[in-house]
Structure 1
Amino acid sequence: MTRIELSFLGGSREVGRSCISIKKKDKLILLDAGISLGRVKGEEYPLEPSNPPNAVFVTHAHLDHSGYLPAIISKYGCPEFSTSPTQDLAELLHTDFLKLQKDWNIEPPYTSEEVMAVRSHAEDINYMVEITIRGGIKAMLLPSGHILGAAMIRLEVDNHIILYTGDLSTRNTRTQDMAETSVGKVDTLIIESTYAAQNDRHPSFQKVERSLIDSINKALDRGGRVLVPVFAVGRAQEVMLSLEAYIRSGALKQVPIYIDGMIKKVNEVYRLYWSYLRPTIRRQIRYTRQSPLESDIFVEVNQKRSVNIDEPCIIVSTSGMLEGGPVIGYIKKIAGDPKSLICLTGYQVPGTRGRRLQDGEREIKIAPKEESIKVNSEVKSFEFSAHADQSGLFRFISKIKELERVYCVHGEEWKTVEFAERIEKLKKVDSYSPINGETYLI
């Protein structure tokens, strides 16, 4: 049997720039092509593959998995395989990324023309449909439950089965069903480790939502304003649906809820691909032709609409890690107010402003002039996570039969190392925490 080379080009012992290559003789496939949001100089983009790729598969649209795709396509001209929602959402995020690069005075890795050119190389794949690509490699996408259109990638190379989870959710959310667990025989598993530490245990979504609503009500009662930085894709929609439900029930105080950033455009994609959503939302959109994300309780911010945030209100705005976008303007306005509240709702990559706030820093610098902002407002974190915690990851692994080896990626270094050791101990399976640049023969 031909030896398969498995190379880790990014996303190993870190969260960001996910990229893995699978090589068989002269055929090479890339799994994801992400960027790092931590902005460590020299570590923004994946390492170069050993051969020009014959294809690139993208698990989902988030920039840490898709953000380098236009550069790969521009350089190599290879086809890209992903679900239709991933392609549309990624294009929005790539365009927004270029704007952020301009704000940071950083030379971007590609142009807007190269972003648009990706479409001519994109191949739509539906879930659970097997395709065969050059070199006789069979591929299938399976639902990963993370965000709209997110997928795991299952490859069959010379009868050897490789499963790459991408980002994995093992519980239902308001918009997504949990990941598919009937994945069949797998020889080599490449699994995310974002929340893989022993003490990583997600509370139930109901508990998280109640905590969020209680905290928001307290801030509003004391005359404060509430800022909810969100990822435009995934987290924004979950937060909006939570707010909508609690407003309707009367449990959340009724105040203006402003929606800013590219959330509106993303919501339009969610409506377009309603068949990828959970059954309750599918039915609502299918039969009423109305999306709950377009509820009249939300006030969409645009150039023609003035926003009064001098009174108690809720602002849902990008970006989720406070690295750019309209959220920066809101931070400047409310950070000094001790009555106000900043709600962090997603994973904060080390090095980002969001992570520094989460870790207790109360003075942040804002580009481009590195203006220093003192944060007196309350800062709280709420685990609206669309990643599996350690127990969820182990439940997923336990469903796989005949597993030979596991590679733990997409996690902070100590977590991937600890997770690999724990898998090997509990599951008696060879497990590794690879380093970027390493190649394994399987």
Structure 2
Amino acid sequence: MHDRTRSEYRTQLSQELPDAAEVTDLRFEGPDLVVYTSTPEVFAEDDRLIGRLASSLQKRLTVRPTADARSSRSEAHAAIEDILPDDAGIRDIEFHPETGEVIIEAEKPGLVIGRGGRTKRRVAAETGWTVEVVRTPPMESETVSNVRNFLKQERGDRRSFLERVGESIHSGPADPEWVRVSTLGCCREVGRASFVLSTGNTRVLVDCGDKPGAEGEVPYLQAPEAMPLTDIDAVVLTHAHLDHSALLPILFKYGYDGPIYLTEPTRDLMGLLQLDYLDVASKEGRTPPYDSSMVRQALKHTIPVEYGNVTDIAPDVKLTLRNAGHILGSASAHFHVGEGYHNVVFSGDVHYTDTRLFNGADNDFPRSETLVMESTYGRRGDHSTDQADAERTLVDTVRETVRNDGTVVIPAFAVGRSQELMLVLADAMRTGELPTVPVYLDGMIREATAIHTAYPEYLRDGLRERILYEDENPFLAEQFEHIDGGSEQREAIASGEPAIVLSTSGMVTGGPIFFWLDVLADDPANTLVFVGYQAEGTLGRRIQQGRREVSLPRWDGGRSRVTLQLGVEDVSGFSGHADRGGLMDYVRTMSDRPDRVLCVHGDETATNQFSSALYDEFGMATYQPRNLETFRCD
């Protein structure tokens, strides 16, 4: 079946390519059809040729030159330096003869690509090498550097892996007899998101996270719908937050050897957060369920997918990711099963409207009979403060605390909310609404911010323009200072001049926030500000609900009994989740509204009330499933 399919692709290419083009070989690498050619200049000279072919073939298409069609590395290097403008900021030029690719890293990749791709095509035409362009992050990121270097080192193994995945994907058309969604977590609760999408031929695992504040509550991977893990065909990760990604490496510990489909920034953030997950567990004396080698295995098996690209992930399943507006690289996942047999959308975590950081969620799916929908803020009263009002409240709170010579500490997720807050604070200081005081970034926040700057194309339109074209990167404002020392540096900050501290963890479940509560607790001039969701069972939720006597783990291994005398404020409006109205709007404005909705990722009250609201307003079949239930969708 595979050979016949390859033959069909070759026949179609011969009909659609210019007469001057020569195809020497076709291969499948993951979802890509790889075309080897002895005439790479033909593809390089026509800026629309590859796009037309990909559209016609309905395949992701990669073109690679044969060895005899390429100039030598020294000749190509000289040509590249001659063609590219000096102000592109070329950092590295790396050749990969086994694939005929040259990777050009630049501070300004747009100048390497050129208007309409003109410069990139000229390099390809004159050298014969296929050009891949990557951006040098404006802020140095250890994570981005390590991930890129690791994947380069594993390039040979990854190619073998991709060929194996490609063989599986293109093993022949399969007509599904049914479609099912099984719940392995995340139902009537927030956290441990995990689902299995099954057809008669394929099983896809969607997310595999932990549950904040509930050690040991993990997805039900032992369920028959998931076992054996070695037989899962693909994994799709909607975004990198640990309640969706933390347990993915455990799949490789127990024999899974297949692909993980995600966006490129989600890949990098996943590695960062999973390694931190292991580090926190070690510091707290817990034994994590996997080690760092399994994190590397997960990274090695990732296949990045861009928003909007239709990608084959199994003979009978195509995947399309759309921006979810939640965090960097977050996605809603659309699965097209069979030849129009059924369509399932997993919303992931969504934020429907634009924020300073991201464009709002994109729900433009051509078909969507079944929707698995997050319901975090699905209760009747879950209406968040308007963002402008939330920003004013935050600025007023900070201003009052600074006026009283106090320190503001904000527990925040390292990914997403911290960067949103940085933009608000930088703008308020720039306009004079706030005095310019140090803003200290503790935990992973600085590194997560650097990853954001490496992928400006995933940020909101105006912010992206500021970073790319106006040379005005707000994340580089001088008031932002990274805490890279230990307790002595933190104690000096706590006893010093008024300041703002953004600290992980966002739900007060671990990390340096414990230290800040310990040292700032006894001064009423200081203020603790909650800006995000505090899950049931977390210390953040207990403090938010009025608890003032708390027990905190110390960095030296002991515990402190602390009475919180500092002010505690709750500023809604900064959550990465849509409120009740935003969730309703997400469904209301879908171009093809689903027939049924499974309401998940919310406590029992939220899923129940949101499910009822969808039924009342739209008349669709709605459910609030429990964990370990299976729904036949067709």
Describe the superposition over 1:323-370 as per-residue Cα deviations: whole angstroms up to 9, x where unpaired: 111221111100111111001111111111111111110122223544
Question: 8 Å contact 1:348–1:355 — kept in the other structure?
Answer: yes
Pairing 1:298-377 to 2, within 5 Å after superposition: 298-303=480-485, 306=489, 307-310=492-495, 311-367=497-553, 368-377=557-566
How far off its partner does 1:303 sit? 2.5
- Paired residue for 1:63? 242
- Paired residue for 2:582? 392
- Paired residue for 2:615? 424
Match among 416, 429, 435 for residue 234 of structure 1: 416
- Paired residue for 1:216? 398
Deviates more, 1:112-121 or 1:428-437: 112-121
Please give the alpha-carbon distance, in whole angstroms, between the structure 1 residues aligned to 2:323 and 2:593: 21
Task: Tell whether 2:337 aligns with 1:157.
Answer: yes
Match among 183, 191, 210 for residue 8 of structure 1: 183
- Paired residue for 2:30? none
Task: Tell whether 2:358 aligns with 1:176.
Answer: yes
- Paired residue for 2:253? 74
CA change 1:402–1:284 in 2 (3 A) is closer
- Paired residue for 2:114? none
Match among 186, 206, 230 for residue 31 of structure 1: 206
Please give the alpha-carbon distance, in whole angstroms, between the structure 2 residues aligned to 1:369 and 1:61: 31
Q: TM-score, normalised by structure 1?
A: 0.96
SS in structure 2 of the partner of residue 299 of structure 1? strand
- Paired residue for 1:414? 605
Question: 8 Å contact 1:73–1:121 — kept in the other structure?
Answer: no
- Paired residue for 2:26? none
Match among 286, 296, 304 for residue 124 of structure 1: 304
- Paired residue for 2:568? 379
How far off its partner does 1:308 sit? 2.6
Please give the alpha-carbon distance, in whole angstroms, between the structure 1 residues aligned to 2:565 and 2:218: 31
Question: 8 Å contact 1:10–1:47 — kept in the other structure?
Answer: no
Question: 8 Å contact 1:17–1:46 — kept in the other structure?
Answer: no
Match among 300, 311, 328 for residue 148 of structure 1: 328
CA change 1:45–1:366 in 2 (3 A) is farther
SS in structure 2 of the partner of residue 308 of structure 1? helix
- Paired residue for 1:94? 274
Please give the alpha-carbon distance, in whole angstroms, between the structure 2 residues aligned to 1:127 and 1:248: 34
Please give the alpha-carbon distance, in whole angstroms, between the structure 1 residues aligned to 2:333 and 2:484: 38
Describe the superposition over 1:77-105 as per-residue Cα deviations: whole angstroms up to 9, x where unpaired: 22100000000011000011111111222
Describe the superposition over 1:119-158 as per-residue Cα deviations: whole angstroms up to 9, x where unpaired: 2100010000001122321111011111110000000113
Deviates more, 1:301-310 or 1:332-341: 301-310
Please give the alpha-carbon distance, in whole angstroms, between the structure 1 residues aligned to 2:388 and 2:421: 12
Describe the superposition over 1:203-255 as per-residue Cα deviations: whole angstroms up to 9, x where unpaired: 21111010001011111222221101110000110011100000011111222
Please give the alpha-carbon distance, in whole angstroms, between the structure 1 residues aligned to 2:184 and 2:219: 9
- Structure with greater proportional helix content: 2
Question: 8 Å contact 2:179–2:342 — kept in the other structure?
Answer: no
How far off its partner does 1:108 sit? 0.5
For structure 2, the 5+ residue unaligned runs are 1-175
For structure 1, the 5+ residue unaligned runs are none
The structure having more radius of gyration, on CA atoms, is: 2
Question: 8 Å contact 2:342–2:369 — kept in the other structure?
Answer: yes
Please give the alpha-carbon distance, in whole angstroms, between the structure 1 residues aligned to 2:481 and 2:494: 12
SS in structure 1 of the partner of residue 269 of structure 2? helix
Please give the alpha-carbon distance, in whole angstroms, between the structure 2 residues aligned to 1:249 and 1:418: 42
Which structure has more RCO (C-alpha within 8 Å, separation ≥ 6)?
1
- Paired residue for 2:233? 54
Please give the alpha-carbon distance, in whole angstroms, between the structure 1 residues aligned to 2:259 and 2:515: 39
Question: Size of the alignment, in residue pairs?
Answer: 441
Describe the superposition over 1:14-58 as per-residue Cα deviations: whole angstroms up to 9, x where unpaired: 110100101112421011111111225x42344432443211100
SS in structure 1 of the partner of residue 469 of structure 2? helix
Letter in 2 for 1:82: L
Please give the alpha-carbon distance, in whole angstroms, between the structure 2 residues aligned to 1:257 and 1:127: 33
Please give the alpha-carbon distance, in whole angstroms, between the structure 2 residues aligned to 1:120 and 1:256: 39
Pairing 1:189-200 to 2, within 5 Å after superposition: 189-200=371-382
Deviates more, 1:259-268 or 1:298-307: 298-307
Please give the alpha-carbon distance, in whole angstroms, between the structure 1 residues aligned to 2:241 and 2:198: 25
Match among 84, 109, 112 for residue 289 of structure 2: 109
Please give the alpha-carbon distance, in whole angstroms, between the structure 1 residues aligned to 2:552 and 2:607: 32
Question: 8 Å contact 1:139–1:156 — kept in the other structure?
Answer: yes
How far off its partner does 1:289 sit? 4.4
CA change 1:268–1:402 in 2 (3 A) is closer
Question: 8 Å contact 1:15–1:411 — kept in the other structure?
Answer: yes
Please give the alpha-carbon distance, in whole angstroms, between the structure 2 residues aligned to 1:360 and 1:402: 41
Task: Tell whether 2:247 aligns with 1:247.
Answer: no
Question: 8 Å contact 2:194–2:219 — kept in the other structure?
Answer: no
SS in structure 1 of the partner of residue 507 of structure 2? coil
Matched residues, percent identical?
Answer: 34
Task: Tell whether 2:631 aligns with 1:437.
Answer: no
Letter in 1 for 2:287: E
Question: 8 Å contact 1:6–1:21 — kept in the other structure?
Answer: yes
Letter in 2 for 1:329: F
Describe the superposition over 1:357-412 as per-residue Cα deviations: whole angstroms up to 9, x where unpaired: 11110122223544322111111111201211111111111123352110000001
Letter in 2 for 1:267: T
Task: Tell whether 2:194 aligns with 1:19.
Answer: yes
Question: 8 Å contact 1:33–1:65 — kept in the other structure?
Answer: yes
Describe the superposition over 1:248-296 as per-residue Cα deviations: whole angstroms up to 9, x where unpaired: 1111122222111111111111111011111222122212445211210
CA change 1:14–1:166 in 2 (3 A) is same
Please give the alpha-carbon distance, in whole angstroms, between the structure 2 residues aligned to 1:30 and 1:45: 11
Question: 8 Å contact 1:194–1:411 — kept in the other structure?
Answer: yes
